[in-house]
Structure 1
Amino acid sequence: MGGDTVQLILAGVFLLFLIYLIGGLLLKPLKLVFKIVVNSLFGLLLLWAFNFFGAYFHFFIPLNWLTVLIAGFLGLPGLILLIFLRLVLGT
């Protein structure tokens, strides 16, 4: 193995490392957006199900971007928080 071959291998390894770093930097925001979208869809589904059953008691939580995000990020505790706020504030 000559010196040129070793340099070529090291350059290849360094290039792969750079591609890995740049790829990670580019994919991280996409993963965050994907997570927000999935959580928001879960929150929408959770609120829709609650409003479906809450209609029998004339109690509902409005569907808007804030309530969907709260229910999506916090899950069931977020839904309980929204119910509590609806009862306390009476809006």
Structure 2
Amino acid sequence: MCMAVELQVILAYAFGLILLYILGYVLLIPIKITLKLIWNGVLGGILLIAVNFLGKFIGFKIGINILTALVAGLLGIPGVILLVFLQKVL
């Protein structure tokens, strides 16, 4: 009887550790995605400001508004390249 209780306790701890590992893994994935979006946003914003600063010398400007901030923030460097391309084409 005493051995069965110890085995149940060990199994309960093992099950709890497995659940804790799964929960940690599930929570880690959104954190990675969030950090990537934050990094893209910061990099896109800095690049957008740099394009506007350098474009001032050649008469090129991308307006900073909600739409351009979202494109540059979500896509990062490719988003800023897309904005420059669209500004030149349109």
* SS of residue in 1 equivalent to 2:41: helix
Distance 1:51 1:4 in 2: 70
Structure 2 residues not aligned, in runs of 5+? none
**Partner residue of 2:42?**
41
5+ long unaligned stretches in structure 1: none
Q: Percent identity?
A: 46
How has the CA–CA distance of structure 1 residues 65 and 37 changed in structure 2, closer, same or farther, with 3 Å as cutoff? Answer: farther
Q: How far apart are residue 53 of structure 1 and its match?
A: 0.6
Q: Which amino acid aligns with 2:55?
A: G
Within 2, Cα distance between the matches of 1:34 and 1:76? Answer: 16
1:17-68 Cα deviation digits (max 9, x unpaired)? 1122233334433433332222111100011111111111121112234323
Secondary structure in structure 2 of the residue aligned to 1:49? helix
* Higher normalized contact order (CA 8 Å, seq sep 6+, divided by chain length): 2
User: Aligned residue pairs: how many?
Assistant: 89
Map of 2:69 onto structure 1: 68
Q: Is the 8 A contact 1:43 1:72 kept in 2?
A: yes
CA contact (8 A) 2:40 2:77 kept: no
Q: TM (normalized to structure 2)?
A: 0.75
Equivalent residues in 2 for 1:1-91, closer than 5 Å? 2-89=3-90
